[in-house]
Amino acid sequence: MNQYFVVDMATGQKYGPADLATLNQWALEGRVTAQTQLEDAATGARVMGADVPGLNVPKPVTQMPSNPPSYQAPSAPGAFSNQPSGGGAPYPRGPMGGPIDNSPSETNKVYAFIVLTLCCCWPIFGYLAIKGADKEIARGNPSGSTLKTVAIVVTVISALLSVVNVAMRFSQGGLGR
């Protein structure tokens, strides 16, 4: 029975080998498509998923259907169950079974909001920092939960400093001075 490696075209990393039953399960989960490049474990020949006999992948659509099907999440989100060839970590997957988006834009915003929370207007920027960290967690960014913890701690510290500042002003005779 033929076994194939799944080739990540972005990095060149190979995952597997996997037999046809496993590849069909991955195809059901959306991890292997007609455009996925596979490498025959025995010969090293590379083929597209659509060209593997017995692999049940939807054929590429050349024209948009008039009534497209609705999206359904993969039945078993998470990482591939196999290890990459040569060892290493499993193929990384996000919360919906798709690849993890590692773009830094939202993370940088969260850092900026955390700094602004300390400097000014803690209710607004603290809220924005926490919500941004929630987006990172939803995207599957492993540092998202750490960002959220830091955002919450900084927001609470800023709130406490504001309360202490107001209390000191009142003890000195009011806010008008």
List, for residues 25-42, the tens digit of each pLDDT value: 877 877 778 878 888 878
Cis upstream peptide for 142 (omega within 30°): no
Burial 79-95 (b: 16+ CB within 10 A, else e): ebebebbeeeeebebbe
Res 105: pLDDT: 60
Inform me whether the pLDDT recorded for 169 exceeds 70.
yes
Enumerate the β-bridge partners of residue 47: 38
Confidence of residue 98 (pLDDT cuts 50, 70, 90): low
| Predicted pLDDT at 27 | 79
- Sorting pLDDT into bands at 50, 70 and 90, what band is 167? confident
Rounded Cα–Cα distance for residues 10 and 77 (Å): 21
The more confident residue out of 2 and 103 is: 2
The predicted structure's pLDDT at residue 70: 56
Q: What is the average pLDDT value for the chain, to the nearest integer? A: 74
Residue 162 clears pLDDT 70, i.e. is over it: yes
Q: What is the C-alpha end-to-end distance of the chain, expressed in Å?
A: 85
AA letter at 137: I
91: closest CA among 10, 3, 172, 2?
Answer: 10
Give dist(CA 167, CA 164) in Å, integer.
5
Helix/strand/coil for 40: strand
Query: Using CA atoms, how far apart are residues 45 and 55, in angstroms rounded to an integer?
Result: 16
Give percent of the chain with pLDDT exceeding 90.
Answer: 6
Residues 41-94 have pLDDT tens digits of: 788 888 887 778 777 776 665 555 566 555 554 454 444 444 444 444 455 555
Which residues does residue 37 pair with via DSSP β-bridges, in sequence order?
7, 48
